[in-house]
Amino acid sequence: MAPSIDQLFVNLLHWVVGFLPEMVRPWASLVISLGAILGVFALLFGLTTVCERKAIARMQNRLGPNRVGPFGFLQFVADGIKSLTKEDVVPRTADRVVHFLAPLALLVPVVLTYLVLPIGRNMVVLDLDCGLLFFFAAGASTELAVFMAGWASRNKYSLLGAMRAIAQMVSYELPFILSTIGVVMVAGTLSTVRIVEAQAVVEGDWLARWNVFTPWGLVAFVLFVIASFAEANRSPFDLPEGESEIVAGYFIEYSGFKFALFFMAEYLGMFSSSAMAVTLFLGGWTAPVAGLGWVPSWMWFFAKLLTLMALFIWVRGTTPRLRMDQLMDFAWKFMLPMALILLPVVVIWHRLGGGWMGWLVCAPPLALAWVLLGKALVGRRQIRPRTYRYAEG
């Protein structure tokens, strides 16, 4: 019973593809899987927007959307219909072709990143040997689309937003990738499927070998999640679309369905980087402890993914927006050194073979580095009551 549910979708795919001629089967399999992934994640995107609005409303002691459908959960359908029926305005001086292409150029690479995400046991569209590299390559090309949108709109705010976005994304790309190198070193492969399998529960052990259960994995996970906040332009790193300064950033001149595409690409990017965090550090579709293997693998994956999404929403409801210099300071003076310090620590951990000895040797330097780098970043600035030189009283 349990294995059949676990492999339900895989068997379904095989059954459907079985009706087709031999020649088109790999392609059909690819297209059907990608379509299914798009459908599932688009639905998840819709539900997440509603949940996000409701959760943030609750954090601010408001009610949030509760009109459309049961408890307002069909709000995203109404929003989708609204954005489809809205007028599509293109500024007269805009570069029409680039303006039109930018949302597509943003959405396509984001969708491509889903090809290498292992959603469950045997549930990956493409098991590339260089899966992780492919993920980062596709993810990084979204920066081009963001700049296309900002430049083609012929609007000073959109250009400012796009330049902020480029500066931010390029800066955070480094710790984003560097924090994953430890995982690759330990697993010895760039294939996402192999990385997940390396984190599964080993026979006779009670705890899974998730990377987040190691000192370096924990720190790398935190760095990866922070960097993915920045990559997804999410609060507290949402400078490219800071409403109070530059209205809506690079998609200021987009309306109707193009705006919805931008919105969707942002959320899909958030999902894919969360899914990659799950894959690399939280063991992908594997169970956390022995004896829970009967739960279908894709359920584990989605449970972990939704937990991370909840964290994204929670942080958005909590943090204010950073300033540009604070953002850059944080990337270059904290994230990057921290990610570099991780590399020798991973080597030491790997040589020692983990265990309590590994913890004893690896945890203190990481904690020390965290505290000292944090002190160096913010230590000199102390929060005290503000004094005014001229405006007394």
Partner 1 sequence: MLGIGILKGLGETGRNFIGSYFDPKRMVTVQYPEKRLPLKENSRQFPFLVFDGDEASIGLRCVACQICEKECPPQCIYIEKSKDKKPDHVGKPQYYPAVFDIDTSVCMSCQICVEVCPFDAIKMDNQYELSTTDRFGGLLLNRDRLAKPNGYFQKLHPTDAAEIDLRREEERVKAVAKAKADAEAKAAAAKPKAATATGGSTVPQAPTASA
Per CB under 8 A, residues contacting partner 1 are 55, 58-63, 66, 314-315, 317-319, 334, 370-371, 373-375, 377-378
Give the residue with the Cβ less far from partner 1, 57 or 352.
Answer: 57
Q: Cβ(349)–Cβ(358) under 8 Å?
A: yes
**Shortest reach from residue 31's CB to partner 1, in Å:** 41
**Shortest reach from residue 198's CB to partner 1, in Å:** 29
**Shortest reach from residue 64's CB to partner 1, in Å:** 10
Give the residue with the Cβ less far from partner 1, 122 or 319.
Answer: 319
Give the residue with the Cβ less far from partner 1, 59 or 74.
Answer: 59
Give the residue with the Cβ less far from partner 1, 48 or 297.
Answer: 48
**Shortest reach from residue 58's CB to partner 1, in Å:** 5
Q: Cβ(233)–Cβ(165) under 8 Å?
A: yes
**Shortest reach from residue 376's CB to partner 1, in Å:** 10
Give the residue with the Cβ less far from partner 1, 91 or 317.
Answer: 317
Give the residue with the Cβ less far from partner 1, 189 or 326.
Answer: 326
Closest CA to 348 of 357, 336, 339, 340: 357
Q: Cβ(111)–Cβ(39) under 8 Å?
A: no
Give the residue with the Cβ less far from partner 1, 183 or 219.
Answer: 219
**Shortest reach from residue 311's CB to partner 1, in Å:** 9
Q: Cβ(192)–Cβ(116) under 8 Å?
A: yes
Site of tokens 């070998």 = 209
**Shortest reach from residue 370's CB to partner 1, in Å:** 7
340/178 Cα distance (integer angstroms) = 7
